[in-house]
Chain A
Amino acid sequence: MATNFGFSISKPRVIDMDANNLRKSDDILASMPQLQSCIGCGACTASCTAGNLTSFNFRKVHTLVRRGEYTGVYEELNKCMLCGKCRLLCPRGINTRAAVMTIKRTLGDF
């Protein structure tokens, strides 16, 4: 057995854009070009009904997807209740509820 020191080597939390496959991310952007205008203000997360009770954070999920980090995204988006309050607040008029569904459809196999 490899020696147990009581701790393990921390892995970096850097997102490596060169290593990530952005094909799915590009597909999502192609079907919803308005996502390009997101300024990451977090109004969607601040107003989120699901996020009020859980750790669900749409801004974080969206940012990760755009950077090619897809692991666990589908399960995370299942927490969304599709109430659409975020859509009322988005300063860029993005149809965030549609964005949730688009991302889930595209990443259904992840």
Chain B
Amino acid sequence: MRRGNWEEYQKSIADDNYYYARSCIRQNFFPGSEKAFLDIVANRLGRNIYDDPLHSSCTGIGYHSDIVPLDTIMAVVARQFALMNEAGYENLVSSCITSFGIYTEILSTWEEFPETEQRAAETLYKATGRTLVKPKNVAHTSDVIFHLRKQIAEQMTRPLINVRTGEPLRVVEHIGCHYAKIFPKKGIGGSEFPYVLAGMIESWGGEVVDYPERRHCCGFGFRNYLVQANRGYSVANSQKKLESMAPYRPDFIVCNCPGCAMFLDKWQYTIAEMEGTTYGQGGVGIPVLTYEEMAGLVLGYDPWQLGMQMHQVDVEPLLDKMGVEYDPATKYLGVNGKYIGKPEQAVVNGDCPSGFYSMLSL
């Protein structure tokens, strides 16, 4: 690739004063990640970021499932932009890859078809009395962490190094499809050579695993999991990736998309329960982290404060490799020390009754 082409795939990321747009599903499946992001950016790195309680879902899930019409989602997005302007910000930071894809798609649509922007502005004004002002900069939260990765490296207390062997941890990075496959020039490195997570891993001492199905989709695809009968196709995509990466013996997977992190984590549980197959070392699954959890571990956060007890695949093998000190007794205690419940035993965490699956294959 010519160097000139490569430069086209570098994006400008605002350095300060962010307006934060949360994700719908991350707060359920990775509840500590968004809190960790806000804490890292605001308290550790001294940036100004505003977490607005007024903003709503971008309705991307409904849009991609053909429930929410285009004009409706444009009006919702116009409202988010108006709220940002009212709060005095012009740099939008989205926590969700779907939302990031929606924002870039709608901004591009407005640019190509100005009449749609006018229509959205009118709808917004009629419905809420607000005025549409477009953001100057739209970035995903992984872009912001990428932008600040060197500052994080300066404060790093636990690099991505296996403390037993001294070798770098082998990390599989998985980029959400809506990050750069829709608009390649809106993502760092485009859709073919996305560098956003690889840059973090390299800066923090890890080794990026390159494997044949690296750019394959995780199988999230809204229509594929919303209908139960279609989920076999969804899980087959994750299985294709997991089978491809397993021979490279990765220590963990890191994702920048809420759906990818959720499905690569939870489909490992499903595959293990259905077929008895696990893809990690020692007969267990491969831990799946969000980039905020990875940054949090590197910066010395407590894994249970990062919400890592909510993962389907246990993260303890990774914590042991990184030399993270943790208290197993407090794993299932919430913020106020209240017991939050414990998941049942799972094959993916090595809790398989002996001979169970060998009996099935007879």
A-side interface residues toward B, CB under 8 Å? 2-3, 5-12
Chain B residues positioned under 8 Å from A9 (CB to CB): 232, 235-236, 239, 271, 274-275
B260-278 interface (Cβ within 8 A of A): 270-271, 273-276
Name A6's closest neighbour in chain B (CB-CB): B228
Give every chain B residue within 8 A of A5 (Cβ-Cβ): 231, 270, 273-274
Return chain B residues, CB-CB under 8 Å to A11.
236
Chain A CB within 10 Å — which of B228, B239, B274, B275 has the most?
A: B274
Q: How far is the CB of B166 from chain A (nearest CB, A)?
A: 38
* A3 and B273 alpha carbons, distance in the complex (Å): 6
> Whole-angstrom distance between the alpha carbons of A9 and B236 in the complex?
6
Enumerate 20 A-B pairs (CB-CB under 8 Å) in ascending A order: A2-B273, A2-B274, A2-B275, A2-B276, A3-B274, A5-B231, A5-B273, A6-B228, A7-B228, A7-B229, A7-B230, A8-B274, A9-B232, A9-B235, A9-B236, A9-B274, A10-B232, A10-B233, A11-B236, A12-B236
- B360 interface contact, C-beta 8 A: yes
User: Which size class do B's interface residues fall under?
Assistant: 10 to 19
The answer to whether A7 and B236 touch (CB under 8 A), given A2-B276, A2-B360, is no
* Neighbouring A residues of B249 by C-beta, 8 Å: none
The docked-state distance in angstroms from the alpha carbon of A10 to that of B50 is: 44
Q: How far is the CB of B153 from chain A (nearest CB, A)?
A: 40
- Min Cβ gap A4→B in Å is 9
B35: interface (CB < 8 Å)? no
Q: Which residue of A lies closest to B269 (CB)?
A: A3
Give Cα A11 to B228, complex, Å: 16
One digit per residue, 1 when the CB lies within 8 angstroms of any chain A CB and 0 when it does not, for chain B 222-262 equals 00000011111101100110000000000000000000000
What residue in chain A is nearest B274 (Cβ atoms)? A2
**Residue of A6, A8, A9, A10 with highest tally of chain B CB at under 10 A:** A9
Give B345 Cβ to nearest chain A Cβ, in Å.
Answer: 12
B273 and A12 contact, CB distance less than 8 A? no
CB < 8 Å neighbour of A8 from B232, B357, B360:
B232
Residue interface mask B15-42, A partner, CB < 8 A = 1: 0000000000000000000000000000
Q: How far is the CA of A12 from the CA of B244 in the complex (A)?
A: 14
Chain B residues near A10 (CB-CB < 8 A) = 232-233, 235-236
Q: How far is the CB of A98 from the nearest CB of chain B, in Å?
A: 40
Query: Judging by beta carbons under 8 Å apart, are A7 and B232 in contact?
Result: yes
Residues of A contacting B360 in the complex (Cβ-Cβ under 8 angstroms): 2
Contact partners of B236 in chain A: CB under 8 A = 9-12
Chain A residues lying within 8 Å of B230, measured Cβ to Cβ, are 7
B232 proximity list for chain A (CB < 8 A): 7-10
